[in-house]
A and B are shown apart, each in its own frame.
Chain A
Amino acid sequence: MEAGALKRTPLYDAHVEAGAKLVDFSGWEMPVEYAGIRSEHEEVRTGCGVFDVSHMGEVESEGPGAGELLQRLLTNDISELEVGAAIYSCVCREDAGVLDDVFTYRLADKHFLTVTNASNHDKVLAWFERHAGDFDARVSDHLESYAMLAVQGPKAREVVGSLAQGELPARHRIADMNLGTGDALVCGTGYTGEDGVEVLVPPDEAAALWEQLVLAGATPAGLGARDTLRMEVNYCLYGNELSEERTPIEAALDWALVDGSGFIGEERCAEQMREGTEELLAPFVIDGEGIARQGNPVKLGDEAVGEVTSGTLSPSLGKGIGMAYVRTDLAEPGTEVEIDVRGRRRAARIGKRPLYKPAG
């Protein structure tokens, strides 16, 4: 894709000024790193980092039947979601293949906001629209209405709190607040395993908020660190761990679905929960040399028993880590396997989630 064809967030100029290295991420020109992945990673684990995640999409669902619509579209139990709360779900096809994994916020009794992955936004919006007709609900695209900043780390609440009037929302709660730059929707969510918030603001407010956060002590962090942080705590990334070819059960996301809630894909998930799956997603650690990468085969002797979905050098653990789909009987912590890393066998063992436990 030509550089000129890439979309830019309202923070593009701020990234360039901060010396970011920009890359094409799902059609967006996004900062992959500023000072370096490892130092940004460390900052989020020990202090406070701020990420531009404005490429993520937003879909709002409103109307008398909005709750019922989302109960059908999302794997988690929306009927139990309180106003002002947030919940993680998958969006599945009838055969339980994962269309996206999303956070949904209940803004009001009949008004919801769902945050989509950039690469899936159009697909999810069309899926929501297609089903809205069966319920008394309206679905609308709000990708252009919001910029999104993730402020993460043990000091994130202190940093954001210094700009806020009043208390920040607790984990998995949301609040309308003013952070000194205008209206903001502050959400107690994140993708790093650390405490912190994600903030949705109108695009024209984003640059001022970014500047205020940096002045208050947040370090700009890029998508590179975001990836290593989420891998250490074993969060799924769509396109790596999740796809339409995988179900939430195979991805070990059974905690994000409620059997009996009536979601699309429920029957297949229930069947897999009953009968088990051929493969299961599992985290792994390489204690010796070597860094596994997406696509590397997992081996038991000469037998191929799985494939790596994500792999990196863990900045916190100083070892190669990652996740892989492996034969279900091998997905137990402690199981020893080998990973074929570009022709070299590396001894790996299946680990326990999360591979890294944040200090907080």
Chain B
Amino acid sequence: MAEASYPDDLRYHPEHDWARIEGDTAVFGVTWFAQDALGEVVFFDPPGLGTEVAKDSTYAEVESVKAVSDVYAPLSGEITEVNEQAKDKPELINTDPYGEGWMVKVELSDPSEAAALLDAESYKKLLDS
């Protein structure tokens, strides 16, 4: 997507990752800013199912022609689903970072961690600062 956007229904991590929280589960991905900074994504390397991820730690790599970048977990939990389509078509991370370009689905180990994440307004302020 060509224009920057930061949906209000997501929670954001300062390392440019988002979480869509539904009860005890959440979907993770990277923000418009992250994919724009990276350029065309050519490689997405997610962890295997069942992997434990820890909030603020890296869990995946995305790679563009010019650089490789770590993806940070906005929350802690266990990977229950990986976006296989984004592995085959990593450009989805550029074209639809909040939709078809999602990365993993996680069973949250401590949903209360979400209190530390930013809302869209705060994240946009962080980007402007």
Contact = CB atoms under 8 A, between A and B. Distances in A.
Interface stretch (A32-40, A46-54, A161-169, A349-357): A32-40
A291 B40 contact: no
Contact of B65 (A21, A228, A342): A228
A37 B68 contact: no
Contact of B63 (A33, A36, A291, A315): A291
Contact of B68 (A38, A293, A315): A293
Contact of B66 (A289, A312, A342): A312
Contacts, number: 35
A315 B65 contact: yes
B42 A342 contact: no
B110 interface: no
B43 interface: yes
Contact of B40 (A36, A289, A293): A36
A315 B67 CA distance: 14
A340 interface: no
A227 interface: yes
A199 interface: no
Contacts of A227: 66
B39 A224 contact: yes
B40 A37 contact: yes
Chain A interface mostly: mixed
Interface in B62-89: 63-68
B39 A291 contact: no
Interface string A18-39: 0001000000000011001110
B61 interface: yes
Contacts of A224: 39, 65-66
Interface residues of A, number: 16
Interface in A213-246: 224, 227-228
A37 B61 contact: no
B43 A37 contact: no
Interface in B48-106: 61, 63-68
A281 interface: no
B38 to A, nearest CB: 11
A87 interface: no
Give me the 6 closest cross-chain CB pairs, A-B, nearest first: A37-B65, A36-B40, A313-B42, A224-B66, A313-B65, A291-B63
29 contacts: A21-B36, A21-B39, A32-B39, A32-B66, A33-B39, A36-B39, A36-B40, A37-B39, A37-B40, A37-B64, A37-B65, A37-B66, A38-B40, A38-B65, A224-B39, A224-B66, A227-B66, A228-B65, A289-B43, A291-B42, A291-B43, A291-B63, A291-B68, A293-B68, A312-B65, A313-B42, A313-B43, A342-B61, A342-B68
Given A38-B65, A293-B68, 14 more contacts: A21-B39, A32-B66, A37-B39, A38-B40, A224-B39, A224-B65, A227-B66, A291-B42, A291-B63, A293-B67, A312-B66, A313-B43, A313-B65, A315-B65
